[in-house]
Chains A and B, each alone.
Chain A
Amino acid sequence: MANRYWVLGTGTWDSTSTTNWSTSSGGAGGASVPTASDNVFFDANSNVLATAFTVTMATSTRFCNDFTASGLDGAMTLAGASIGLAVSGSLFWPATNFTRTYTGLTTFRATTTGKTITTNGVAFGAVTFDGVGGGWSLGSALSCTTLTLTNGTLDLAGYTATLSLRLTTLTGTKNLTFNGGTILCTNTSATAFNNGAPINFTTTAGTGTGVISMTSASAKTFVGGGSTFNCTLNQGGAGALTITDSNTFSNITNTVQPASIIFTAGTTNTFTNFNLAGTAGNLITIGSATAASHTLSKASGTVSSDFLSISRSTATGGAGWYAGANSTNGGNNSGWIFTAPPSGSNSNFLMFF
Protein backbone atom coordinates (compact mmCIF):
# COMPACT_ATOMS: atom_id res chain seq x y z
CA MET A 1 0.00 0.00 0.00
CA ALA A 2 1.34 3.38 -1.01
CA ASN A 3 0.15 6.96 -0.83
CA ARG A 4 -0.44 8.99 -3.95
CA TYR A 5 -0.93 12.77 -3.83
CA TRP A 6 -2.46 14.74 -6.66
CA VAL A 7 -0.29 17.68 -7.79
CA LEU A 8 -0.14 20.36 -10.51
CA GLY A 9 -3.85 21.18 -10.68
CA THR A 10 -6.05 20.26 -13.58
CA GLY A 11 -5.25 16.91 -15.14
CA THR A 12 -6.44 13.50 -16.15
CA TRP A 13 -6.60 10.50 -13.86
CA ASP A 14 -6.35 7.69 -16.35
CA SER A 15 -4.57 4.37 -16.50
CA THR A 16 -1.19 5.63 -17.73
CA SER A 17 -0.49 9.29 -16.98
CA THR A 18 1.82 9.87 -14.03
CA THR A 19 2.03 13.65 -14.47
CA ASN A 20 -0.23 14.51 -11.58
CA TRP A 21 0.73 11.84 -9.07
CA SER A 22 3.35 12.32 -6.40
CA THR A 23 4.56 10.28 -3.46
CA SER A 24 4.25 13.31 -1.17
CA SER A 25 1.99 16.32 -0.77
CA GLY A 26 3.21 19.02 -3.14
CA GLY A 27 6.05 16.81 -4.35
CA ALA A 28 7.21 16.11 -7.86
CA GLY A 29 4.89 14.37 -10.26
CA GLY A 30 5.77 11.13 -11.93
CA ALA A 31 4.71 8.60 -9.35
CA SER A 32 2.85 5.57 -10.56
CA VAL A 33 -0.89 5.65 -11.07
CA PRO A 34 -2.61 4.51 -7.89
CA THR A 35 -3.86 0.97 -7.69
CA ALA A 36 -6.73 -0.43 -5.66
CA SER A 37 -4.43 -0.78 -2.67
CA ASP A 38 -3.09 2.79 -2.74
CA ASN A 39 -4.50 5.76 -0.82
CA VAL A 40 -5.13 8.90 -2.87
CA PHE A 41 -5.03 12.41 -1.44
CA PHE A 42 -6.22 15.73 -2.79
CA ASP A 43 -5.14 18.64 -0.59
CA ALA A 44 -3.96 22.24 -0.50
CA ASN A 45 -0.92 21.28 -2.57
CA SER A 46 -2.90 19.59 -5.32
CA ASN A 47 -3.47 22.78 -7.28
CA VAL A 48 -1.37 25.67 -8.53
CA LEU A 49 -1.53 28.42 -5.90
CA ALA A 50 -5.20 28.48 -4.87
CA THR A 51 -6.75 28.08 -8.28
CA ALA A 52 -9.67 25.89 -9.17
CA PHE A 53 -8.80 22.59 -10.74
CA THR A 54 -10.48 19.60 -12.32
CA VAL A 55 -9.48 15.98 -11.94
CA THR A 56 -10.98 14.09 -14.86
CA MET A 57 -11.20 10.35 -14.43
CA ALA A 58 -10.76 8.54 -17.73
CA THR A 59 -10.09 5.25 -19.51
CA SER A 60 -12.08 3.02 -17.20
CA THR A 61 -13.09 2.73 -13.55
CA ARG A 62 -10.51 4.42 -11.34
CA PHE A 63 -9.34 2.44 -8.31
CA CYS A 64 -7.96 3.41 -4.93
CA ASN A 65 -7.94 2.33 -1.33
CA ASP A 66 -8.79 5.41 0.76
CA PHE A 67 -9.99 8.47 -1.13
CA THR A 68 -9.32 11.63 0.85
CA ALA A 69 -10.01 15.15 -0.33
CA SER A 70 -9.29 17.54 2.52
CA GLY A 71 -7.84 20.95 3.18
CA LEU A 72 -8.39 22.13 -0.38
CA ASP A 73 -7.63 25.81 -0.95
CA GLY A 74 -9.11 25.91 -4.44
CA ALA A 75 -12.29 24.50 -5.88
CA MET A 76 -11.80 20.89 -6.98
CA THR A 77 -14.07 19.16 -9.47
CA LEU A 78 -13.96 15.39 -9.75
CA ALA A 79 -15.13 14.73 -13.28
CA GLY A 80 -15.48 11.90 -15.74
CA ALA A 81 -17.99 10.83 -18.35
CA SER A 82 -19.43 7.44 -17.42
CA ILE A 83 -16.25 6.63 -15.52
CA GLY A 84 -16.68 4.87 -12.21
CA LEU A 85 -14.74 5.13 -8.98
CA ALA A 86 -13.96 2.00 -6.98
CA VAL A 87 -12.90 2.57 -3.38
CA SER A 88 -11.42 -0.27 -1.36
CA GLY A 89 -11.15 1.74 1.85
CA SER A 90 -12.78 4.87 3.21
CA LEU A 91 -13.88 8.02 1.45
CA PHE A 92 -13.79 11.60 2.69
CA TRP A 93 -15.02 14.60 0.76
CA PRO A 94 -14.70 18.09 2.27
CA ALA A 95 -17.52 20.45 3.16
CA THR A 96 -16.21 23.16 0.87
CA ASN A 97 -14.25 23.45 -2.37
CA PHE A 98 -15.37 20.10 -3.75
CA THR A 99 -17.76 19.18 -6.56
CA ARG A 100 -18.55 15.79 -8.05
CA THR A 101 -19.57 15.70 -11.68
CA TYR A 102 -18.44 12.23 -12.76
CA THR A 103 -21.35 10.15 -13.90
CA GLY A 104 -20.14 6.60 -13.43
CA LEU A 105 -20.84 4.13 -10.67
CA THR A 106 -19.15 4.53 -7.30
CA THR A 107 -18.35 1.14 -5.84
CA PHE A 108 -17.29 0.49 -2.27
CA ARG A 109 -15.49 -2.83 -2.30
CA ALA A 110 -13.79 -3.16 1.07
CA THR A 111 -13.55 -6.68 2.43
CA THR A 112 -12.85 -5.60 6.00
CA THR A 113 -14.89 -3.57 8.43
CA GLY A 114 -14.23 -0.12 9.88
CA LYS A 115 -14.50 1.92 6.71
CA THR A 116 -16.22 5.31 6.71
CA ILE A 117 -17.97 7.31 4.02
CA THR A 118 -18.15 11.04 4.59
CA THR A 119 -19.55 13.06 1.72
CA ASN A 120 -20.20 16.33 3.56
CA GLY A 121 -23.24 17.24 1.51
CA VAL A 122 -21.87 16.22 -1.89
CA ALA A 123 -24.18 13.83 -3.71
CA PHE A 124 -23.19 10.64 -5.47
CA GLY A 125 -24.75 9.29 -8.61
CA ALA A 126 -25.20 5.53 -8.43
CA VAL A 127 -23.53 3.75 -5.52
CA THR A 128 -22.88 0.05 -4.92
CA PHE A 129 -21.66 -1.68 -1.79
CA ASP A 130 -20.01 -4.90 -2.84
CA GLY A 131 -17.27 -6.26 -0.63
CA VAL A 132 -17.59 -9.68 0.98
CA GLY A 133 -17.13 -9.05 4.70
CA GLY A 134 -16.88 -5.31 4.20
CA GLY A 135 -18.31 -2.79 6.65
CA TRP A 136 -18.96 0.90 6.09
CA SER A 137 -20.34 3.56 8.41
CA LEU A 138 -21.66 6.88 7.22
CA GLY A 139 -19.86 9.91 8.58
CA SER A 140 -22.56 12.25 7.32
CA ALA A 141 -25.78 12.10 5.36
CA LEU A 142 -25.62 10.34 2.02
CA SER A 143 -27.45 11.34 -1.13
CA CYS A 144 -27.40 9.31 -4.33
CA THR A 145 -29.55 8.24 -7.23
CA THR A 146 -29.41 4.49 -6.69
CA LEU A 147 -28.00 2.50 -3.82
CA THR A 148 -27.25 -1.17 -4.42
CA LEU A 149 -26.43 -3.57 -1.59
CA THR A 150 -24.64 -6.68 -2.77
CA ASN A 151 -22.12 -7.66 -0.11
CA GLY A 152 -21.12 -6.15 3.22
CA THR A 153 -22.70 -4.12 5.99
CA LEU A 154 -23.79 -0.53 5.55
CA ASP A 155 -24.29 1.28 8.86
CA LEU A 156 -26.28 4.50 8.51
CA ALA A 157 -24.90 5.54 11.90
CA GLY A 158 -27.88 7.74 12.58
CA TYR A 159 -27.67 9.72 9.36
CA THR A 160 -30.11 10.13 6.49
CA ALA A 161 -29.52 8.31 3.21
CA THR A 162 -31.64 9.82 0.44
CA LEU A 163 -32.17 7.85 -2.74
CA SER A 164 -33.73 9.72 -5.63
CA LEU A 165 -34.25 6.60 -7.73
CA ARG A 166 -34.11 3.35 -5.80
CA LEU A 167 -32.53 0.95 -3.34
CA THR A 168 -31.80 -2.49 -4.73
CA THR A 169 -30.40 -5.68 -3.24
CA LEU A 170 -28.44 -8.09 -5.39
CA THR A 171 -27.24 -11.63 -4.73
CA GLY A 172 -24.76 -11.63 -1.88
CA THR A 173 -24.55 -11.39 1.91
CA LYS A 174 -25.59 -7.87 2.90
CA ASN A 175 -26.80 -6.04 5.98
CA LEU A 176 -28.37 -2.68 6.54
CA THR A 177 -27.80 -1.29 10.04
CA PHE A 178 -29.75 1.75 11.12
CA ASN A 179 -28.53 3.01 14.50
CA GLY A 180 -31.27 5.61 14.27
CA GLY A 181 -30.66 6.41 10.63
CA THR A 182 -33.17 6.80 7.85
CA ILE A 183 -33.45 5.48 4.31
CA LEU A 184 -35.52 7.91 2.30
CA CYS A 185 -36.84 6.64 -1.04
CA THR A 186 -38.24 9.56 -2.97
CA ASN A 187 -39.02 8.03 -6.34
CA THR A 188 -42.27 7.13 -8.00
CA SER A 189 -41.52 3.62 -9.10
CA ALA A 190 -42.37 -0.04 -8.84
CA THR A 191 -38.82 -0.49 -7.62
CA ALA A 192 -38.31 2.51 -5.35
CA PHE A 193 -37.33 0.01 -2.67
CA ASN A 194 -36.49 -3.27 -4.36
CA ASN A 195 -35.31 -6.08 -2.12
CA GLY A 196 -34.95 -8.24 -5.18
CA ALA A 197 -32.37 -10.59 -3.64
CA PRO A 198 -33.65 -11.18 -0.11
CA ILE A 199 -31.58 -14.29 0.56
CA ASN A 200 -28.81 -13.35 3.02
CA PHE A 201 -30.21 -9.84 3.42
CA THR A 202 -30.55 -8.77 7.05
CA THR A 203 -31.31 -5.56 8.85
CA THR A 204 -30.10 -4.46 12.27
CA ALA A 205 -31.82 -1.83 14.38
CA GLY A 206 -28.83 -0.87 16.52
CA THR A 207 -29.38 2.10 18.81
CA GLY A 208 -32.45 4.23 18.24
CA THR A 209 -35.24 3.80 15.74
CA GLY A 210 -34.40 3.26 12.11
CA VAL A 211 -36.81 4.33 9.40
CA ILE A 212 -37.43 3.53 5.77
CA SER A 213 -39.65 6.28 4.44
CA MET A 214 -41.34 6.22 1.05
CA THR A 215 -42.04 9.85 0.28
CA SER A 216 -43.25 10.08 -3.28
CA ALA A 217 -46.49 11.96 -3.86
CA SER A 218 -47.28 9.41 -6.57
CA ALA A 219 -47.64 5.64 -6.40
CA LYS A 220 -44.61 3.70 -5.26
CA THR A 221 -43.79 0.13 -4.29
CA PHE A 222 -41.89 -1.39 -1.40
CA VAL A 223 -40.67 -4.77 -2.62
CA GLY A 224 -40.03 -6.40 0.72
CA GLY A 225 -38.87 -9.77 -0.53
CA GLY A 226 -40.18 -11.47 2.60
CA SER A 227 -37.42 -10.09 4.79
CA THR A 228 -37.42 -8.89 8.37
CA PHE A 229 -37.06 -5.13 8.64
CA ASN A 230 -35.89 -4.12 12.09
CA CYS A 231 -37.07 -0.61 11.52
CA THR A 232 -40.16 1.48 10.91
CA LEU A 233 -41.67 1.55 7.45
CA ASN A 234 -43.20 4.97 6.92
CA GLN A 235 -45.76 6.03 4.34
CA GLY A 236 -44.34 9.52 3.84
CA GLY A 237 -46.00 10.69 0.64
CA ALA A 238 -49.51 11.05 -0.70
CA GLY A 239 -49.06 8.43 -3.42
CA ALA A 240 -50.32 4.95 -2.68
CA LEU A 241 -47.70 2.69 -1.11
CA THR A 242 -47.83 -0.91 -2.30
CA ILE A 243 -46.09 -3.46 -0.08
CA THR A 244 -45.30 -6.78 -1.72
CA ASP A 245 -44.42 -10.12 -0.14
CA SER A 246 -44.80 -11.37 3.44
CA ASN A 247 -42.48 -9.29 5.57
CA THR A 248 -41.85 -8.49 9.21
CA PHE A 249 -41.58 -4.91 10.43
CA SER A 250 -40.82 -3.32 13.78
CA ASN A 251 -43.43 -0.69 13.05
CA ILE A 252 -45.47 0.92 10.31
CA THR A 253 -46.39 4.59 10.41
CA ASN A 254 -47.65 7.39 8.22
CA THR A 255 -46.64 11.03 8.24
CA VAL A 256 -49.14 12.12 5.60
CA GLN A 257 -52.86 11.61 5.18
CA PRO A 258 -54.94 10.90 3.25
CA ALA A 259 -52.88 8.09 1.79
CA SER A 260 -53.16 4.42 0.92
CA ILE A 261 -51.22 1.35 1.95
CA ILE A 262 -51.88 -1.55 -0.37
CA PHE A 263 -50.76 -5.08 0.40
CA THR A 264 -50.38 -7.91 -2.08
CA ALA A 265 -53.32 -10.27 -1.67
CA GLY A 266 -52.41 -13.52 -0.02
CA THR A 267 -49.47 -12.13 1.91
CA THR A 268 -49.01 -11.90 5.67
CA ASN A 269 -47.14 -8.95 7.06
CA THR A 270 -46.16 -9.10 10.71
CA PHE A 271 -45.68 -6.08 12.93
CA THR A 272 -44.33 -5.48 16.41
CA ASN A 273 -46.09 -2.11 16.42
CA PHE A 274 -48.80 -0.85 14.11
CA ASN A 275 -49.33 2.89 14.09
CA LEU A 276 -51.23 3.83 10.96
CA ALA A 277 -53.88 6.49 11.55
CA GLY A 278 -55.58 9.24 9.60
CA THR A 279 -57.36 12.37 10.66
CA ALA A 280 -60.90 13.63 10.23
CA GLY A 281 -61.59 13.80 6.50
CA ASN A 282 -58.15 12.42 5.70
CA LEU A 283 -58.36 8.68 6.00
CA ILE A 284 -55.61 6.13 5.65
CA THR A 285 -56.84 3.46 3.26
CA ILE A 286 -55.71 -0.12 3.86
CA GLY A 287 -56.50 -2.59 1.13
CA SER A 288 -55.30 -5.30 -1.19
CA ALA A 289 -53.81 -4.88 -4.63
CA THR A 290 -56.30 -7.35 -6.07
CA ALA A 291 -59.74 -8.65 -5.17
CA ALA A 292 -58.60 -10.95 -2.37
CA SER A 293 -57.52 -10.48 1.20
CA HIS A 294 -54.17 -9.86 2.80
CA THR A 295 -53.27 -10.59 6.41
CA LEU A 296 -51.82 -8.32 9.05
CA SER A 297 -50.40 -9.99 12.15
CA LYS A 298 -49.36 -8.68 15.52
CA ALA A 299 -48.62 -11.07 18.33
CA SER A 300 -49.79 -9.15 21.38
CA GLY A 301 -50.98 -5.85 22.75
CA THR A 302 -53.53 -3.52 21.22
CA VAL A 303 -53.62 -1.74 17.90
CA SER A 304 -55.30 1.58 18.51
CA SER A 305 -55.92 3.35 15.22
CA ASP A 306 -58.53 5.73 13.92
CA PHE A 307 -59.67 7.32 10.67
CA LEU A 308 -58.85 4.25 8.59
CA SER A 309 -60.73 2.88 5.60
CA ILE A 310 -60.15 -0.85 5.55
CA SER A 311 -61.07 -3.51 3.05
CA ARG A 312 -59.98 -7.07 2.27
CA SER A 313 -57.88 -7.15 5.42
CA THR A 314 -57.52 -9.96 7.91
CA ALA A 315 -56.13 -8.82 11.24
CA THR A 316 -54.78 -11.59 13.41
CA GLY A 317 -51.89 -12.84 15.52
CA GLY A 318 -53.20 -12.29 19.05
CA ALA A 319 -53.31 -8.51 19.33
CA GLY A 320 -56.53 -6.57 19.60
CA TRP A 321 -56.99 -4.78 16.32
CA TYR A 322 -59.07 -1.67 17.03
CA ALA A 323 -59.62 0.39 13.90
CA GLY A 324 -61.28 3.18 15.87
CA ALA A 325 -64.76 4.61 15.97
CA ASN A 326 -64.13 6.91 13.03
CA SER A 327 -62.85 4.26 10.67
CA THR A 328 -64.72 2.81 7.73
CA ASN A 329 -65.35 -0.87 7.15
CA GLY A 330 -65.02 -1.29 3.42
CA GLY A 331 -65.94 -4.94 3.55
CA ASN A 332 -64.28 -8.33 3.37
CA ASN A 333 -62.44 -7.74 6.63
CA SER A 334 -61.77 -10.09 9.49
CA GLY A 335 -60.39 -9.48 12.94
CA TRP A 336 -60.73 -5.71 12.86
CA ILE A 337 -62.86 -4.11 15.57
CA PHE A 338 -64.39 -0.87 14.39
CA THR A 339 -64.47 0.84 17.75
CA ALA A 340 -61.97 2.55 19.94
CA PRO A 341 -60.10 0.17 22.23
CA PRO A 342 -61.50 -0.37 25.69
CA SER A 343 -60.58 2.33 28.15
CA GLY A 344 -57.25 1.65 29.72
CA SER A 345 -55.82 -0.45 26.95
CA ASN A 346 -52.76 0.93 25.31
CA SER A 347 -50.92 -0.09 22.21
CA ASN A 348 -47.91 -2.24 22.79
CA PHE A 349 -48.33 -2.56 26.54
CA LEU A 350 -49.39 -5.66 28.35
CA MET A 351 -52.24 -5.33 30.76
CA PHE A 352 -52.21 -7.04 34.11
CA PHE A 353 -55.31 -7.48 36.20
Chain B
Amino acid sequence: MTMKIDFSFSSQYGTFSDALHLPDDHGLSDEQIEAMKQQRFDNWIFVITAPPTEEV
Protein backbone atom coordinates (compact mmCIF):
# COMPACT_ATOMS: atom_id res chain seq x y z
CA MET B 1 0.00 0.00 0.00
CA THR B 2 1.14 3.52 -0.70
CA MET B 3 0.35 6.91 0.74
CA LYS B 4 0.15 10.14 -1.22
CA ILE B 5 1.50 13.45 0.03
CA ASP B 6 0.45 16.43 -2.08
CA PHE B 7 2.66 19.50 -2.00
CA SER B 8 3.28 22.68 -3.93
CA PHE B 9 5.87 25.43 -4.22
CA SER B 10 5.38 28.94 -5.53
CA SER B 11 8.04 30.50 -7.71
CA GLN B 12 8.53 33.20 -10.31
CA TYR B 13 7.65 30.56 -12.90
CA GLY B 14 4.33 29.76 -11.28
CA THR B 15 3.13 27.14 -8.87
CA PHE B 16 4.66 23.70 -8.94
CA SER B 17 2.17 21.10 -7.73
CA ASP B 18 3.29 17.53 -7.22
CA ALA B 19 2.76 14.52 -5.00
CA LEU B 20 4.98 12.01 -3.27
CA HIS B 21 3.72 8.44 -3.34
CA LEU B 22 5.46 6.42 -0.67
CA PRO B 23 4.97 2.97 0.81
CA ASP B 24 2.97 3.06 4.03
CA ASP B 25 6.02 1.65 5.81
CA HIS B 26 8.47 4.07 4.18
CA GLY B 27 10.34 4.75 7.42
CA LEU B 28 11.35 8.24 6.32
CA SER B 29 11.59 11.09 8.78
CA ASP B 30 9.71 14.34 8.29
CA GLU B 31 13.02 15.97 7.39
CA GLN B 32 13.75 13.38 4.75
CA ILE B 33 10.29 13.81 3.24
CA GLU B 34 10.73 17.58 3.17
CA ALA B 35 14.09 17.06 1.48
CA MET B 36 12.42 14.90 -1.17
CA LYS B 37 9.86 17.62 -1.84
CA GLN B 38 12.61 20.20 -2.14
CA GLN B 39 14.53 17.92 -4.51
CA ARG B 40 11.47 17.60 -6.74
CA PHE B 41 11.13 21.37 -6.81
CA ASP B 42 14.84 21.87 -7.51
CA ASN B 43 14.66 19.36 -10.36
CA TRP B 44 11.67 21.23 -11.78
CA ILE B 45 13.49 24.55 -11.67
CA PHE B 46 16.43 22.91 -13.41
CA VAL B 47 14.18 21.59 -16.19
CA ILE B 48 12.47 24.88 -16.89
CA THR B 49 15.65 26.92 -16.80
CA ALA B 50 17.85 24.54 -18.79
CA PRO B 51 18.19 24.94 -22.55
CA PRO B 52 15.92 22.40 -24.28
CA THR B 53 17.44 19.46 -26.06
CA GLU B 54 15.60 17.43 -28.67
CA GLU B 55 15.09 13.82 -27.67
CA VAL B 56 14.27 11.16 -30.25
Interface residue ranges, A against B (CB under 8 Å): 70-71, 82, 92, 94-95, 103-104, 118, 120-121, 123, 125-126, 139-141, 143, 145, 158-160, 162, 164-165, 180-182, 184, 186-189, 211, 213, 215, 234, 236, 255-256
Q: Which residue of chain B is the closest to A126 with respect to CB atoms?
A: B55
Taking the closest CB of chain A, its distance from the CB of B44, in whole angstroms, is 6
Q: How far, in whole Å, are A104 and B15 apart by their CA atoms in the complex?
A: 29
Q: How far, in whole Å, are A182 and B15 apart by their CA atoms in the complex?
A: 8
CB of B13 within 8 A of CB of A215, answer: yes
CB of A143 within 8 A of CB of B16, answer: no
Q: How far, in whole Å, are A118 and B48 apart by their CA atoms in the complex?
A: 20
Q: How far, in whole Å, are A256 and B12 apart by their CA atoms in the complex?
A: 8
Digitize B21-56: 1 where CB-to-A-CB distance is under 8 Å, 0 elsewhere. Answer: 111000000000000100110011001101011111
Cβ 8 A contact of A159, one of B18, B39, B48, B53: B18
Taking the closest CB of chain A, its distance from the CB of B19, in whole angstroms, is 4
CB of A160 within 8 A of CB of B15, answer: yes
Given contacts A126-B55, A182-B17, contact A143 B22 (CB under 8 A): no
Residues of B with C-beta under 8 A to A145 = 52, 54-55
CB of A187 within 8 A of CB of B20, answer: no
**Chain B interfacial residues counted at CB < 8 A:** 28
Given contacts A126-B55, A186-B52, contact A164 B21 (CB under 8 A): no
Residues of A with C-beta under 8 A to B6 = 158
Residues of B with C-beta under 8 A to A118 = 19, 21
Q: How far, in whole Å, are A202 and B33 apart by their CA atoms in the complex?
A: 37
CB of A103 within 8 A of CB of B56, answer: yes
CB of A234 within 8 A of CB of B14, answer: yes
Given contacts A82-B56, A211-B14, A215-B14, contact A140 B19 (CB under 8 A): yes
Residues of B with C-beta under 8 A to A164 = 47-48, 50, 52-53
Residues of A with C-beta under 8 A to B47 = 123, 143, 162, 164, 186
Given contacts A125-B55, A215-B48, contact A95 B22 (CB under 8 A): yes
CB of A213 within 8 A of CB of B14, answer: yes
Q: How far, in whole Å, are A119 and B35 apart by their CA atoms in the complex?
A: 18
Q: How far, in whole Å, are A191 and B43 apart by their CA atoms in the complex?
A: 24
CB of A139 within 8 A of CB of B18, answer: no
Cβ 8 A contact of B54, one of A159, A165, A186, A188: A165
Cβ 8 A contact of B40, one of A82, A103, A121: A121
CB of B21 within 8 A of CB of A158, answer: no
CB of A186 within 8 A of CB of B12, answer: no
Residues of B with C-beta under 8 A to A186 = 47-48, 52
Q: How far, in whole Å, are A82 and B56 apart by their CA atoms in the complex?
A: 7
CB of B20 within 8 A of CB of A95, answer: yes
Cβ 8 A contact of B14, one of A95, A139, A165, A236: A236
| Pairs A–B under 8 Å by Cβ, sample size 27 | A70-B2, A70-B23, A92-B21, A118-B19, A121-B18, A121-B39, A123-B47, A125-B55, A125-B56, A126-B55, A139-B4, A141-B16, A141-B17, A143-B44, A145-B55, A158-B17, A160-B16, A160-B44, A182-B17, A186-B47, A186-B52, A211-B14, A213-B14, A215-B13, A215-B48, A234-B14, A236-B13
